[in-house]
Structure 1
């Protein structure tokens, strides 16, 4: 029985680690998405300005 409890504790620990890793990956993905959105907005503005100059 102690072996089973140790294995269960290990699985729970791994689950917590996986959740933390997933949360970090999601945070990074959201940060990258915000950067791309800002860059896209800037590029759209530049395109509009260039279109007005022609």
Structure 2
């Protein structure tokens, strides 16, 4: 879980404990644990490639 304020609320931790879960908090910035970051990197790579081709054509 990331370190958003609402994820660190005592109520959420108590609820998880009640059901037998343990919350694991991630480091402040950890893109390697967030799968969407790989998707964004892939999209950005293709966008930059497309912009470069467009500039070449102009």
Report the TM-score when normalising by structure 1: 0.51
Structure with more of its chain in helix, by fraction:
1
Residue 30 (structure 1) aligned with residue 23 (structure 2): no
Secondary structure in 2 matching 1:17: coil
The alignment of Structure 1 onto Structure 2 pairs a total of residues equal to: 37
Moved over 2 A (4+): none
Larger Rg: 1
In structure 2, what is the equivalent of residue 42 of structure 1? Answer: 46
Larger relative contact order (CA 8 Å, sep ≥ 6): 2
SS in 2 for 1:51: helix
Q: Which structure 2 residue ranges, 5 or more long, are not aligned?
A: 1-13
Structure 1 gaps of 5+ residues are 1-10
Match of 1:19 among 19, 23, 31: 23
